[in-house]
């Protein structure tokens, strides 16, 4: 029986030499693989009340939409700065090569709503931390953070757990 990890291909030297890119598009393209990933991402949160799913740009939108559908709840995107049309809150974070920012609509989450944060990959945790801060600024309560892949050497899980987050990843890959 195939695991989620079996559906993910590795592309060496992308986007830069020395990087092993973990490509989830092969997982998404396979109906069994996608169903397996969505079901396994939901499993730890079965029985909990979740009001909304927040997906981080961009592959988190694919997963977040599917998970929100399964839960019969709303979906909220956290997008790169300047991509949302209405009034937004923003949060900057650092990358290994600079700084970036993400935004959420000011009215996307009501105080007290229970949120599941999802994305495809947990590396350093910078994007997820920025998303968490935005959700908390809007008064949301984060029930968990779910990812397909964790790259443990980059410390994202430790970073998010240090913020008090419940972190669930379907598989791990060593290296960058």
Domain ranges of the chain: 47-172
| Global confidence as pTM | 0.96
Is 174 one of the catalytic residues? no
Fold observed for domain 47-172 = Rossmann fold (3.40.50)
Distance (Å, rounded) from C-alpha 115 to C-alpha 47?
A: 14
Above 90 in pLDDT, residue 12?
yes
Query: What's the length of the chain?
Result: 176
Marked catalytic residue, from 22, 59, 79, 157: 59
- The stretch 37-59 carries a mean pLDDT of 97
Marked catalytic residue, from 32, 35, 96, 161: 96
Q: What is the pLDDT of residue 176?
A: 67
82 backbone φψ class: left, alpha, beta (φ>0; ψ -120 to 50): left
Is 79 one of the catalytic residues? no
Q: What is the pLDDT of residue 98?
A: 80
């Amino acid at each position: 029986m195939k695991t989620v990890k079996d559906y993910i291909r590795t592309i060496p030297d992308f986007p830069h030499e020395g990087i092993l890119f973990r490509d989830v598009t092969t997982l998404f393209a396979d109906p069994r693989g996608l169903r397996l990933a969505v079901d396994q991402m939901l499993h730890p949160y079965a029985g909990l009340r979740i009001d909304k799913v927040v997906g981080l740009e961009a592959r988190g939108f694919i997963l977040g939409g599917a998970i929100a559908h399964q839960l019969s709840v709303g979906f909220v995107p956290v997008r790169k700065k300047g991509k949302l049309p209405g009034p937004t809150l923003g949060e900057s974070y650092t990358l290994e090569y600079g700084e970036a920012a993400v935004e959420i609509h000011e009215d996307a989450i009501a105080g007290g709503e229970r949120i599941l944060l999802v994305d495809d990959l947990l590396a350093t945790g910078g994007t997820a931390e920025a998303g968490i801060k935005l959700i908390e600024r809007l008064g949301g309560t984060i029930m968990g953070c779910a990812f397909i892949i964790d790259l443990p050497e980059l410390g994202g899980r430790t970073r998010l757990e240090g913020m008090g987050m419940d972190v669930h990843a379907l598989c791990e890959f060593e290296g960058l």
